[in-house]
Amino acid sequence: MSIIVQTILAVCMLAGIHLGEVHEGFGYLTLVSSIVAAVTAVMWKRRGGPAGVMGHALGMAVLLIIQFALGEVGHPVKWVHVVLGFVIVVGLLTLPLSLDKKR
């Protein structure tokens, strides 16, 4: 859910609306959520859950850590941050597909 809010905020910011602090706050929430999801996926895998979910969740957490760091750097890497944000949204939208993969 926070990624949807982040996407809306990012589009508004690209349109010139100053929402940097709100975007940063939701960035913290999104980062923590992804780490919690990754830890949960690892625990689920250890109990027989699908490996695809674990790999996907760990990959998304790594990308979100990088994304957060790029956001902290700011303007010099703005477009790298924007493109990676798009990749993350696509990756999270495909997460349910990893539920169908065999263990």
pLDDT 10s digits, 62-75: 999 999 999 999 98
Say which residue the tokens 């696509």 belong to: 90
For helices 2-14 and 78-93, angle between their N-to-C axes, nearest 10 degrees:
150
pLDDT 10s digits, 27-66: 999 999 999 999 999 999 999 998 888 999 999 999 999 9
**CA 13/CA 96 separation, integer angstroms:** 29
CA–CA–CA angle 63, 68, 74 (5° rounding): 125
Sign of CA dihedral 63, 69, 73, 75: positive
